[in-house]
């Protein structure tokens, strides 16, 4: 229970719900409306809701009346706001109505009172012109029903003070909400802005008669959605949808004015559920949807890439970060995932090509790929690495670092052609401390499901791959030492399990834990003069990150025992002769040769086939032959249905280089 005094202006569907939220938070609440009838109805609805909460055990039965006793109803706006700590305007989504209410309320309110507007689309900066003391004014966008939905978008206008945004955030947290700060004012904020292009998409589908509303809604329900887009628009109100599109047309893009069908329905008075007729006839609160087969004219990817595209635009504009966008969409639309999760499962090329197709088909600029997607930087944006900068030409764009934020000792470089280079960068000799192992673990995880990455090239920055574990690390007891070993083993094993080709470029010192790291990769190349070995037994230790097991399987027991028990160091050329490395390069050209090899693998070989082949070979030494053969035949069958197999065979007969897509 917070306490304090709140005033909610507007007793409609959202207003009375917001009032109940504050009542449940322990506030004295005044609910204001021009209509006595609307106020009485609102009080009855709040009382019914509180009783249902009591029946479900959410509040105590004896608390219902005490909570209701804190509610005051009023038609006098000025006197109602005069002593309030926070004032929420929740009147209809018309600028002229909001302007009058905000002007009157702000003049009568205390100078330190927070004033919020529950607008779902209108820019806060636009409304702040009507507010006395606009620094205390912000967007407080609740979602329907407010008493159930956790999300509140707190929108910072151009004049909103940071301290006011922070105070509002704490108030909403105290009310049990999940507030998201919208750091830059934009029409629709986060959730409605992300949804706007798909709203336009379904309007254009209807305009062009590509599929009947009931066919599209049948498709949507087949994807697990409770309502299809046209039923949902009817439910919300086609007049509300039309007004939103008109506002977006003025503030975001003229494309939003292209919707003809909805405008015609609104002119006919067919507003959806509220009028009994919209796209569908409504009876008893339910739409009478004609039975229909789901359409094949649209696909789920059509809708998802539009959401991803708009989310990327929000990040580029500085409206919010990836995590806040993901959370807002999940909570606001009551979904298990948001656009950032979707984007992580797609490649930049998939998103870009689908958006270009939609933009061309519907002659719609809104559907064109965002700048970052055009430049191949989708992964950077959704993983929080976007930096606003002047647009550069694609041909002149250098390979950009793609390291996740917060990394100190690991660098990831995007080399193009589906290849990344992971560099250990820890002066000196790139020793592997617990922090380096943790960062390597996070780097591997960040790339695991990135379908734009097919090959990982692992090496050290500077002259050395890695001279081994950092023996200066403080370890207090034997159990901690065991766990230090097990952590390294688990992280290195991920290199063998990740569905990418991993290549270790060994150079300079490749000793102890550094050698074990290289052994965990699929392919090893080396400089001829590299210094490779396991010095552990000369220090009273043994290889503790998988070296005893991997070297024996790779080069045989004789070689493994010889290297481990003697502590002898060998050159890169000797490593090739012993079957430990595949190729040896001159020191001066090693980086260039390793990159060339990585790109050759990525451009010549199908990534799904590579991932399955890698998995089978790695398991060959762990399972009986008949089990391995059974897995092999299953993998063979899986590849039969891939687009890459069809492309590989087509390119063979057409005598051209294949263009694999990882599908």
Tracing tokens 């009542």 back to the chain, one arrives at 23
User: Using the 8-state DSSP alphabet, how is residue 497 labeled?
Assistant: H
Cβ(547)–Cβ(516) below 8 Å: yes
Distance separating alpha carbons of residues 645 and 606, to the nearest angstrom: 8
What the block records as the tokens of 478 is 């034997």
Distance separating alpha carbons of residues 636 and 630, to the nearest angstrom: 10
For 247, the enclosing helix (H) or strand (E) is: helix 238-251
Distance separating alpha carbons of residues 488 and 484, to the nearest angstrom: 7
10 Å CB burial of residue 297 (0-12, 13-18, 19+) is middle
CB environment 435-473: b (16+ within 10 A), e (fewer):
ebbebbbebbebbeebbbbbbbbbbbebebbbbbbbeee
Catalytic option among 49, 106, 120, 121 = 120
Cβ(120)–Cβ(195) below 8 Å: no
Distance separating alpha carbons of residues 312 and 123, to the nearest angstrom: 20
- Which of these, 111, 11, 112, 118, lies nearest to 71 by C-alpha position? 11
Residue 86 neighbours by CB under 8 Å, 6+ apart: 4, 5, 6, 7, 113, 114, 115, 116, 168, 171
Cβ(134)–Cβ(161) below 8 Å: no
Q: Is 153 a catalytic residue?
A: yes
Catalytic option among 84, 106, 118, 192 = 192
Report in angstroms the alpha-carbon separations of 374 from 312, 348, 350, 371, 501: 11, 9, 11, 5, 26
Catalytic option among 28, 84, 118, 141 = 141
CB environment 167-203: b (16+ within 10 A), e (fewer):
bbbebbeebebebbbbbebbbbbbbbbbbbbbbbbbb
49-55: long-range contacts, CB 8 A cutoff, minimum separation 24: 49/20, 49/147, 50/20, 50/23, 53/24
Residue 405 neighbours by CB under 8 Å, 6+ apart: 383, 384, 385
Helix (H, G, I), strand (E, B) or coil at 561: helix
Cβ(96)–Cβ(123) below 8 Å: no
Cβ(327)–Cβ(182) below 8 Å: no
Distance separating alpha carbons of residues 595 and 597, to the nearest angstrom: 5
Q: What sign does the CA torsion over 481, 484, 489, 490 have?
A: positive
Taking the CB of residue 360, how many other CB atoms lie within 10 A of it? 11
Count of residues in the chain: 663
Q: Is 141 a catalytic residue?
A: yes
Tracing tokens 């600028």 back to the chain, one arrives at 95
Task: Tell me the catalytic residues.
Answer: 120, 141, 153, 192
């Amino acid at each position: 229970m917070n306490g304090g005094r709140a005033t909610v202006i507007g007793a409609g569907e959202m207003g009375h719900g917001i009032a109940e939220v504050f009542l449940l938070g322990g506030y004295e609440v005044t609910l204001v409306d021009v209509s006595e009838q609307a106020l009485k109805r609102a009080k009855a609805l709040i009382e019914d809701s509180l009783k249902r909460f009591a029946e479900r055990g959410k509040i105590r039965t004896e608390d219902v009346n005490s909570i209701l006793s804190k509610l005051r109803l009023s038609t006098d706006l000025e006197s109602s706001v005069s002593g309030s700590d926070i004032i929420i305007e929740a009147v209809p989504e018309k600028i002229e109505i909001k302007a009058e209410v905000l002007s009157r309320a702000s003049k009568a309110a205390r100078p330190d009172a927070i004033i919020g507007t529950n607008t779902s689309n209108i820019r806060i900066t636009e409304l702040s012109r009507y507010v006395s003391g606009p620094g205390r004014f912000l967007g407080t966008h609740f979602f329907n029903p407010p008493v159930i939905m956790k999300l509140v978008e707190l929108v910072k206008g151009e004049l909103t003070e940071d301290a006011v945004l922070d105070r509002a955030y704490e108030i909403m947290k105290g009310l049990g909400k999940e507030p998201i700060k919208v750091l830059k004012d934009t029409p629709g904020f986060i959730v409605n802005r992300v949804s706007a292009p798909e709203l336009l998409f379904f309007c254009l589908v209807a305009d062009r008669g590509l599929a009947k509303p009931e066919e599209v809604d049948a498709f949507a329900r087949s994807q697990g959605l409770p309502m299809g887009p046209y039923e949902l628009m009817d439910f919300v109100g086609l007049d509300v949808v039309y007004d939103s599109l008109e506002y977006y047309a003025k503030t975001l893009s003229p494309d939003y004015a292209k919707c003809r069908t909805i405008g015609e329905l609104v002119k006919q008075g067919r507003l959806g559920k509220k009028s009994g007729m919209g796209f569908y006839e409504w009876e008893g609160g339910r739409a009478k949807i004609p039975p229909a087969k789901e359409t094949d004219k649209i696909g789920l990817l059509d809708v998802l890439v539009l959401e991803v595209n708009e989310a990327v635009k929000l990040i580029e504009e500085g409206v919010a970060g990836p995590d806040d966008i993901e959370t807002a969409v999940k909570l606001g639309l009551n979904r298990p995932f948001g656009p950032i999760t979707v984007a992580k499962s797609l490649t930049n090329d998939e998103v870009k090509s689908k958006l270009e197709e939609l933009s061309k088909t519907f002659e719609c600029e809104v559907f064109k790929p965002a700048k970052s997607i055009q430049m191949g930087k989708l992964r950077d944006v959704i993983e929080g690495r976007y930096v606003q900068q002047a647009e550069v030409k694609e041909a002149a764009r250098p390979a950009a670092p793609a390291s996740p934020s917060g990394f100190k000792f690991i660098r990831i470089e995007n080399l193009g052609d589906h290849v990344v280079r992971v560099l250990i960068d820890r002066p000196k000799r790139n020793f592997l401390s617990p922090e380096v192992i943790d960062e390597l673990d996070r780097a591997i995880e960040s790339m695991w499901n990135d379908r734009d990455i097919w090959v990982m090239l692992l090496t050290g920055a500077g002259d050395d791959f890695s001279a081994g574990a950092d023996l200066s690390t403080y370890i207090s007891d034997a159990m901690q030492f065991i766990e230090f070993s097990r952590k390294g083993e688990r992280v290195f094993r991920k290199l063998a399990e990740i569905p990418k080709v991993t290549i270790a470029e060994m150079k300079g010192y490749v000793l102890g834990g550094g050698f074990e790291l290289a052994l965990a990769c699929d392919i090893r190349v080396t400089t001829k003069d590299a210094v490779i070995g396991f010095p552990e037994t000369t220090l009273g230790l043994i290889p503790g990150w998988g070296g005893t097991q991997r070297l024996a399987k790779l080069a045989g027991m004789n070689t493994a025992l010889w290297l481990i028990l003697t502590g002898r160091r060998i050159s890169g050329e000797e490593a090739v002769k012993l079957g430990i490395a595949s190729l040896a390069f001159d020191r001066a050209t090693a980086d260039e040769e390793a990159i060339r090899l990585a790109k050759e693998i990525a451009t010549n070989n199908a990534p799904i086939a590579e991932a399955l082949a890698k998995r089978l070979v790695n398991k060959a030494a762990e399972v009986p032959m008949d089990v391995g053969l059974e897995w092999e035949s299953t993998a063979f069958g899986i590849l039969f249905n891939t687009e890459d197999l069809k492309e590989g065979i087509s390119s063979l007969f057409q005598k051209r280089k294949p263009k694999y897509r990882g599908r």
